[in-house]
């Protein structure tokens, strides 16, 4: 059976750098940091007092108050991004077979704020516990997917998945498989996260995983830099409308690029640390290139996972060196987490959007806050420091790696 091809026809984003794709992209290429002091809760007793929060998001512009009350913030982000993505795609849902439009939305944590609020309320009165009737349907990690399907009457495949910080990249990969096999004409895919909460910040602080550079939040996310001290929490949602090529051509859709392949693997090494030599990352990138029928020298740009953690950045660079050892001079790499922070389960989705825009616009976003390169990182790697770089991008890779050793790489190729 000949595999069908998949293309990207719509994008939607809610991010710390802007609440639509254009604002997000302009902030990226201008090197803007989204890190500011946390406003969600009192950080007095927390080691980290800043994060990359979504700013100016007003759910009342899209939802009734009664709807907002029934949904966690991660679901509201997902719905808003999906609305932009569907509108951007130009899909006329009434003219489509809704039975063949699917939704796969990923999250690393789900409705954490709802969970915290309800448990804290329960702790105040354990003798007569009272829970919101919306507690479960706000908190569970599949509900954002369900809400998108319900809102738009989409009857195709509908499920969520989680593989920590690789989650939404795996959602995109699953969507590609469905398109290739003819089981869907369109898949709304991506991820959403709203995990800037007391428990998440406190938990990551206890692991010593987060930056504590409270005196200078905007410079705290510094991938590849010698002085990096951990990741910066981010939040938001990213949506890609992934469509079967002939379906898109038949309706005259604008095509951003082709989703050409993916690779996925496991470090099988440690619950929270990447393999020192990037074993899983190598397997994911090599698998992605093989799946897309590409050679390493075909790749122009890699959006690195690069969370700004001491071990992770080094292992990813070693993996890139191994896979692209004969074409490093042709390759640009950048870490957009230096601006967005780490969106956990949604990271892969917004970084995929960055790759799609890089292919479309011929601009590679920068890595900001890179002052002094870590001595363990090869200086021959072009990490696109400080400023965006204009360059034709024919093939871009998006790397995402998660706790538990999950690794995933997606391939975006200029459509011809």
pLDDT at 129: 77
Residue 51 has pLDDT above 80, yes or no: yes
Same domain, 119 and 194: yes
Paired with 180 in beta bridges are none
The CA distance from 12 to 237, in Å, is: 8
Q: Which residue has the tokens 């780490």?
A: 342
The whole-angstrom distance between residue 18's C-alpha and the CA centroid of its chain comes to 15
pLDDT value for 32: 98
> Alpha-carbon torsion 136, 138, 140, 144, what sign?
positive
Closest Cα to residue 167, out of 200, 190, 144? 190
Residue 124 pLDDT > 90: no
Question: Given this model, what pLDDT does residue 390 score?
Answer: 98
Answer yes or no: are the C-beta atoms of 20 and 200 closer than 8 Å.
no
Whether residue 318 sits in one domain with residue 219: no
Would residue 2 count as lying in a domain? no
Share of the chain above pLDDT 90, in %: 94
**Burial degree of 345 (CB within 10 A; 0-12, 13-18, 19+):** buried
Same-domain status, 273 and 244: no
CATH number of the domain enclosing 288: 3.40.47.10
pLDDT at 281: 96
Alpha-carbon distances, residue 359 vs 136, 300, 413 (angstroms) = 40, 9, 7
The last residue of a domain, from among 197, 215, 250: 250
Antiparallel, parallel or unpaired: β 389-390 and 363-364: antiparallel
| 255 found inside a domain | no
User: Cα separation of 268 and 322, whole Å?
Assistant: 19
Question: In sequence order, what E strands does 194-343 have?
Answer: 236-244, 257-266, 301-303, 332-334
Q: Render pLDDT for 387-404 as a digit per residue (tens, 0 to 9).
A: 999 999 999 999 999 999
Q: Which helix (H) or strand (E) holds 210?
A: none
Query: pTM of whole model > 0.75?
Result: yes
Lowest mean pLDDT among 125-139, 342-356, 371-385: 125-139
What CA–CA distance (Å, rounded) separates 85 from 96?
16
Q: What is the pLDDT of residue 411?
A: 98
Place of tokens 């890089």: 358
The two structure tokens encoding residue 391: 């360059």
Judged against a pLDDT cut of 90, whether residue 196 lies above it is answered with yes
Note if 165 is an active site residue: yes
Q: Is the pLDDT of residue 267 over 80?
A: yes
- The answer to whether the beta carbons of residues 203 and 148 sit under 8 Å apart is no
Residue 88's pLDDT band (boundaries 50, 70, 90)? very high
Task: Categorize the per-residue pLDDT at 4 as very low, low, confident or very high, splitting at 50, 70 and 90.
Answer: very high
Q: What is the per-residue pLDDT for 110?
A: 96
| Span 224-243, pLDDT tens digits | 999 999 999 999 999 999 99
Confidence class of residue 272 from pLDDT cuts 50, 70 and 90?
Answer: confident
> 124: burial class by Cβ within 10 Å (0-12, 13-18, 19+)?
exposed
Catalytic residue among 165, 257, 317, 355: 165
- Same domain for 241 and 336? no
Among 224-238, 244-258, 266-280, the minimum mean pLDDT is found in: 266-280
Predicted confidence (pLDDT) at residue 341 exceeds the cutoff of 80: yes
For residue 200, pLDDT over 80 is answered with: yes
Answer for the pair 344, 112: CB distance below 8 angstroms, yes or no: no
CA distance 223 to 317: 11
Domain boundary among 250, 283, 314: 250
Q: What is the mean pLDDT of residues 368-395?
A: 97
Give me the percent of the chain exceeding a pLDDT of 70: 100
For residue 128, pLDDT beyond 80: no
Contacts of 151 (CB under 8 A, 6+ apart): 79, 82
Separation between Cα atoms, residue 248 and residue 385, nearest integer Å: 37
Query: Is 366 inside any structural domain?
Result: yes
Domain identity same for 230 and 90: yes
**What are the tens digits of pLDDT across the range 289-331?**
999 999 999 999 999 999 999 999 999 999 999 999 999 999 9
pLDDT level of residue 54 (50, 70, 90 thresholds) = very high
Angle between helices 347-361 and 167-180 (to 10 degrees): 60
pLDDT digits (tens, 9 = 90+) for 146-188: 999 999 999 999 999 999 999 999 999 999 999 999 999 999 9
Query: Does a structural domain hold residue 309?
Result: yes
Clarify whether residues 224 and 360 are in a common domain.
Answer: no
Which range has the worst mean pLDDT, 11-15, 59-63, 70-74, 111-115?
59-63
Cα 138 to the center of its chain, rounded Å: 21
Q: Is 15 a member of any domain?
A: yes
Cite the beta strand spans of 338-390 per DSSP E: 363-364, 389-390
Of residues 199, 206, 221, 174, the one with CA closest to residue 109: 199
Shared domain check, 202 and 83: yes
| Residue 256 included in any domain | no
Verify that 186 and 286 share a domain, yes or no. Answer: no
| Judgement on whether residues 314 and 209 belong to the same structural domain of the protein | no
pLDDT at 149: 98
When pLDDT is cut at 50, 70 and 90, the band that residue 345 belongs to is very high
* Contact yes or no for 402/164 (Cβ under 8 A): yes
- Mean pLDDT for 211-216 is 98
222 lies in some domain: yes
121 and 193 fall within a common domain: yes
Task: Name the more confident of 271 and 27.
Answer: 27
Average of per-residue pLDDT values in the chain: 96
In a domain, 373, yes or no: yes
- CA 364 to CA 192: how far, in whole Å? 24
Nearest to 399 by CA among 267, 306, 268, 272: 306
Residue 233: name the closest of 57, 366, 54, 383 by CA. Answer: 54
Angle at 48 between CA 44 and CA 51, to 5 degrees: 110
Domain end residue (candidates: 198, 227, 250) = 250
Quickly tell me which residue has 């050679």 as its tokens: 295
Within this chain, do residues 216 and 320 fall inside the same structural domain, yes or no? no
SS3 content of the chain, % helix, strand, coil (to 5): 35, 20, 40
Q: What are phi and psi of 373, to 5 degrees?
A: -65, 135
Q: Which domain holds residue 284?
A: 261-413
Q: Are residues 245 and 265 in the same domain?
A: no
Please state the rounded mean pLDDT for residues 20-29.
98
Per the structure, how many domains does the chain have? 2
Can you tell me which residue has the tokens 């899983």? 280
């Amino acid at each position: 059976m000949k595999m069908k091809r998949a293309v990207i026809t719509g994008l939607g984003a809610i991010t710390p750098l802007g609440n639509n794709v254009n604002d997000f992209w302009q902030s990226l290429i201008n090197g803007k940091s989204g890190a500011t002091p946390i406003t969600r809760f009192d950080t007095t007793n927390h080691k980290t007092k800043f994060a990359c929060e979504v700013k100016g998001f007003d759910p009342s512009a899209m939802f009734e108050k009664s709807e907002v009350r029934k949904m966690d913030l991660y679901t509201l982000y997902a719905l808003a991004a999906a609305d932009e993505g569907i509108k951007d795609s130009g899909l006329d849902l009434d003219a489509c077979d809704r039975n063949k439009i699917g939704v796969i939305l990923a999250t690393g944590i789900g409705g954490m704020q709802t969970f915290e609020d309800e448990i804290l309320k329960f702790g105040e009165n354990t003798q007569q516990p009272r829970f919101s009737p919306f507690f479960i349907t706000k908190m569970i990690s599949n509900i954002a997917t369900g809400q998108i399907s319900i809102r738009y009457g989409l009857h195709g495949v509908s499920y969520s998945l989680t593989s920590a910080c690789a989650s939404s990249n795996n959602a995109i990969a699953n969507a590609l498989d469905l398109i290739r096999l003819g089981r869907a004409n369109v898949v709304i895919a991506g991820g959403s996260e709203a995990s800037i909460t007391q428990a998440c910040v406190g938990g990551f602080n206890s692991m010593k995983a987060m930056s504590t550079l409270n005196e200078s939040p905007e410079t705290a996310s510094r991938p590849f830099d010698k002085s990096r001290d951990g990741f910066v929490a981010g939040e938001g949602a990213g949506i890609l409308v992934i469509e079967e090529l002939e379906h898109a051509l038949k309706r005259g859709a604008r095509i951003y690029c082709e989703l050409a392949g993916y690779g996925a693997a496991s470090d099988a090494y440690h619950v929270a640390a990447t393999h020192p030599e990037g074993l899983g990352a190598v397997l994911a990138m090599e698998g992605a290139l093989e799946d897309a029928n590409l050679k390493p020298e075909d790749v122009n740009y890699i959006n690195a996972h690069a969370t700004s953690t001491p071990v992770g950045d080094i292992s990813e660079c070693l993996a890139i060196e191994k896979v692209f050892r004969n074409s490093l001079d042709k390759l640009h790499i950048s870490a957009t987490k230096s601006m967005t922070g780490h969106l956990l389960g949604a990271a892969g989705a917004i970084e995929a959007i960055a790759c799609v825009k890089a292919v479309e616009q011929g601009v590679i976003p920068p890595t900001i806050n890179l002052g002094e390169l870590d001595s363990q990182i090869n200086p021959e790697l072009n990490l696109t420091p400080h400023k965006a770089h204009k360059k034709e991008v024919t093939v871009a890779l998006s790397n995402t790696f998660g706790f538990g050793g999950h690794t995933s790489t997606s391939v975006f190729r200029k459509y011809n």
